[in-house]
Structure 1
Amino acid sequence: MTLLTPPAWADYELIDSGDFMKLERFGQYILARPEPQAIWDCSLSEGEWERLAHATFRRDRQSPERGDWQRLKPIQDPWTVNFKQQELDLTFKLALTAFKHVGIFPEQAVNWTYIHDTVKAMPVERPRVLNLFAYTGGASLAARQAGADVTHVDAVKPVISWSRENMEMSRLDNIRWVVEDAVKFVRREERRGNTYNGLILDPPAYGRGPDGEKWVLEEQLNDLLRTCAALLDRRDFFFIINLYSLGFSAIILDNLMVQHFGNVPEGAAAINRLPNYQSGELFLTDSRQKRLPLGVFSRFSSVTL
C-alpha cells in the first residue's frame, strides 16, 4: 500500500487535529472543522484553538451534514488561495459553506501534480480528460493547464459556476462544463463510442443528480467503473479514483481495478500488471507530525513518470 501526501505549499497548513476536529490555515485564515477520523487528542489546548481560529464550523443538530460557521475574527468571504508546484500554478476561490467544505480538498494536491505531469508526458497532442464528480475543479484545472481537452461533469450547477471562476482566475479557458448525473453521462458516452485518455473520479458516499437521481457509493460504484473501463483509451491512458468513505479500503479498490481494468493493456490479469499502478491512502500531517488519513485512492497510467 502506498501512502501519499502533497508537497508543502505556502497557502495551506494543517495546524492540529484531534477530538474529531482539524485546524487548518487556508491563505490568511485559520478554520476549525469536524473531521470524523481524528479520534485522538488535540495537541493544542482548546484555548489555543479559539485564539488561532478565524471561524469554527458547528453541525446542525437536525442534520448530520449541514451546519453553520461561528466567526471569531473578521474574515473576507469569499477569498482566494494559490497552489504552485513546478509548472503548475492554480488559483482557487474559497468560501464558508453550509456543508463545512471551503472549495478545495488539500490532500488532492498530490493528484493535481500527478495529473499535470502525466498529461504533459503523454505522446498525444491534446489528451482527452473526463473528470466526474468534479466539484470545484482542481483536477480539471491541472489537466487543462497541462494542455488537455477537459470535460468537467458535476450534478450541482452552482459548483460548476464556482469551477468556472477558478478556471478564469487561473488564466485558463475552454473547459467543457456538463451539469448532469455522472452515471447518465458515462452511459451516453459509451453508447456514442467516445473514449478518453484520462478518467478522474471523486465520488461522494451519497448524492443526488440534477433531476433527483440517487447516488449510493457502495451500490453503484461497481457498475460505474464497468462503464468507465469502456471509455478509457487502450493505448495512451491514465485513471484516478479517490474515495472518502470510512467503509472503503484500498483493497476494495484493488479488486475493482483488476476486475474492470485488468485488460489494460491487453493480457494484464493481476494488480501488479496494471501499468504504473498505485493504491493506498492520502493523508496530511499536522504541525505535531500526526498523520490524518483522508481517503483511499487508486491510479495507473500508460506513462512512466
Structure 2
Amino acid sequence: MSTTVIQTATPKNWKAYQLLDSGGFEKLEKFGDYILRRPEPQAAWDKSLSELEWQNRANAYFKKDKGSQEKGEWMLKKGMVERWYMPYQTPTLNLNFKLALSSFKHVGIFPEQAMNWDFIMEKVKKMPVKNPKVLNLFAYTGGASIAAKQAGADVTHVDSIKQVISWSRDNMEASQLDNIRWVVEDAMKFVRREAKRGNVYQGIILDPPAYGRGPDGEKWVLEEQINEMLKTVAQILDKENYFLILNMYSMGFSSLIVENLVKCSFEHSKNHEFGELYLEDSFKKKLPLGVYYRFASI
C-alpha cells in the first residue's frame, strides 16, 4: 500500500472563482460576477487589503446574528442578486452550479472540492467498468454527483434534506445531465441497508458534517459514528475496481486521525493520498478548509 501526503489548492483553471483576500476571520471571494464577504473562523491572520477596499469590492456581506456562529443575514448592495449561476469548466468537465445566499453564510458550493471533481472524472474514465456505480453520501448540492455523472457513472446521491436534493437537481439540469438517483435518507441507515442487500459500488464519496440530523430525526455525530460508517462502507466498495474520497471539516480531526480511520477499514486498498484542503488567496496566503483522504485501484 503506497501513501502520499499532498496538499492541493483549487485548480488554477477555475476562472469563475477566486479567493481574493483572507484574514481577520473573514474571506473575500469572487463567485462569477459577484464578490462576497463572509466569516471564516480559520483566517486568524491579518488581511492584505484595507477595510475600505473590502467594503468597496464586496457586492454582499454576511452579518451574523448576535450570539450565533453560523446563522445570520446577507446585506446586499444595489444590483446584487440572491440567486445566480457559476460555471466550472476544464478540458474534461463542463459543470454549472446554482448559487444562492443562505441564512447560514453558505452559497451552495465549496470551491476547494473542485480538485475532487477532477479526481472523480479521471478515475471514472479510467475504470474498466461500463457506467461504474458511484455513491455520494452527505451529498449536499451535488458537485461530486454531477462530476461523476458527466464522467459516465451511474450515480446515487444521498442527503437527508429535501430542499438540498432539489438544489442538486437544479445543478444537474443546469449542467445538461439527467438520471441521477436521488435518495432522501439518513446516510448511515442507507449504507447499512445496502450492506445487508449485498449491493456494491465502484466509487464512494463521503462528505460528512460534524453534526447532523436525518429526515426522521436520526442523530449524526462525526466523532462517534465515522468509524462505523467507514467499516460499513468497506463492505459495499468493490474490491477490484474502486475509488473512495473522504472529506472532513471538523477542526478537531487531523489528517493523521483520518489516515488511521481509513487504514483500519480498507487494509488492502492502494494508491492512498491524504492532506489538507486549502484555498490560496491573491496574496499567496493559504486558507485551510479541512482534510481529505482518497485512494483508487488505478
Partner of 2:158: 153
Q: Which structure 2 segments of 5+ residues have no match?
A: none
Q: Report sequence identity in percent.
A: 61
Aligned residues: 293
Distance 1:58 1:180 in 2: 32
For structure 1, which runs of at least 5 residues remain unmatched after alignment?
A: 265-274
1:5 equivalent in structure 2: 9
Which AA in structure 2 matches 1:165? D
The answer to whether 1:296 aligns with 2:287 is no
C-alpha deviation, 1:213, in angstroms: 1.0
1:206 aligns with 2:238: no
1:60 paired to 2:55: no
Provide, for residues 54-89 of structure 1, a one-character-per-residue CA deviation record: whole Å limited to 9, x for no partner. Answer: 111111124332111011332122100000111100
What's the secondary structure of 1:3's corresponding residue? coil
1:132 aligned to 137, 146, 158, which one? 137
Q: Deviations over 1:96-126 (max 9, x none)?
A: 0011110110000000000011100000001
2:80 pairs with one of 75, 78, 86: 75
The match for 1:267 is none
Paired with 1:63 and 1:6, the residues of 2 have a C-alpha distance of: 29
Q: Aligned residue for 1:163? A: 168
**1:32–1:53 contact (8 Å) kept in structure 2:** yes
- Alignment partner, residue 261 of structure 1: 266
Describe the superposition over 1:103-156 as per-residue Cα deviations: whole angstroms up to 9, x where unpaired.
110000000000011100000001000000000000000100000000000001
Higher relative CO (Cα under 8 Å, sequence separation at least 6) belongs to 2
Superposed counterparts of 1:89-238, under 5 Å? 89-238=94-243
8 Å CA contact 1:55–1:73 kept in 2: the answer is no
Structure 1 segments (4+ residues) deviating >4 Å: none
Partner of 1:282: 277
TM-score relative to the length of structure 1: 0.95
Tell me if structure 2 keeps the 8 A contact 1:11–1:83: yes
In 1, Cα distance between the equivalents of 2:197 and 2:116? Answer: 29
1:219 Cα deviation (Å)? Answer: 0.8
Secondary structure of 2:7's counterpart equals strand
Instruction: Tell me the equivalent position of 2:33.
Output: 28
Contact 1:283 1:295 in 2 (8 A): yes
Supply the AA of the counterpart residue of 1:3.
Answer: Q
